[in-house]
Amino acid sequence: MKNAYQVKNPDYNLSPYTGMTRNHYIECAKYILERAFVHVDSIDTPISFPSVPGKAYPQPNAPAWRHRSLEFEALDRTLTLAGPLMHIDPEIAINGTKLRDYYCQQLYKALTPGHPNSLPLPEDLPDSTYQFTCEFGGLFQTLLLLPDIIWPYYSQEQKDEMAITISKWAHHRTTQNNWGFLTSSHCLSSKNRDTKSMMNCSRAIFCG
């Protein structure tokens, strides 16, 4: 496996700074995900990356919610690469794992209780700001831009189950730099998905 993605046959007329074309970005996304999915043993394994001792979180003896935050961050941020690939090719697999099946299952488990990677709810944690709100913003931006990749494959019952966790975190406070991104992504995505419970969440955020 190459140590770094290499841009072959760059087109500096189309992209003066990088030479990267649409096909280069597709190839680069596949390259990064192939490396990321080295850490995924099966469709049931939450994606997570090795920690750098003394630098990365969670630190030794960290509470369980920090580990869920690490997993959710990896899930959300790799989805920003996987989403466009699934939009182009719904059947795409990386290292033998079909991306749509993987992300559908892992998101459902993260957003419903009773699973190893289930997210905690705000009321179960000390009152503070959390990384979860930032990742929710990124997640719903991806689902808004690419509505065909995951959401249609859930049943209405599954959507309503996940909406409980989504709504509670959408109502929780976050840092100023996350707030506009988070709420607009939540609300626009829920509006386009036409889930009644998510629309109630959106109205509550904007209307108080």
Position 116 pLDDT exceeds 70: yes
Question: Around 76, how many Cα atoms within 13 Å sit in the side-chain half-sphere?
Answer: 20
Instruction: Reply yes or no on whether the pLDDT at 132 is more than 90.
Output: no
Specify the pLDDT at position 126.
86
pLDDT tens per residue across span 42-83:
999 999 888 777 777 777 788 888 888 889 999 999 999 999
* pLDDT of res. 181: 52
Out of 65-79, 92-106, 114-128, 164-178, least confident range: 164-178
Q: Residues 30-45, buried b or exposed e (16+ Cβ, 10 A)?
A: bbebebbbeebeeeee
**What HEC string does 34-51 produce?**
HHHHHHCCCCCCCCCCCC
Residues 6 or more apart whose CB falls under 8 angstroms from that of 166 comprise 111, 136, 186, 190, 198, 201
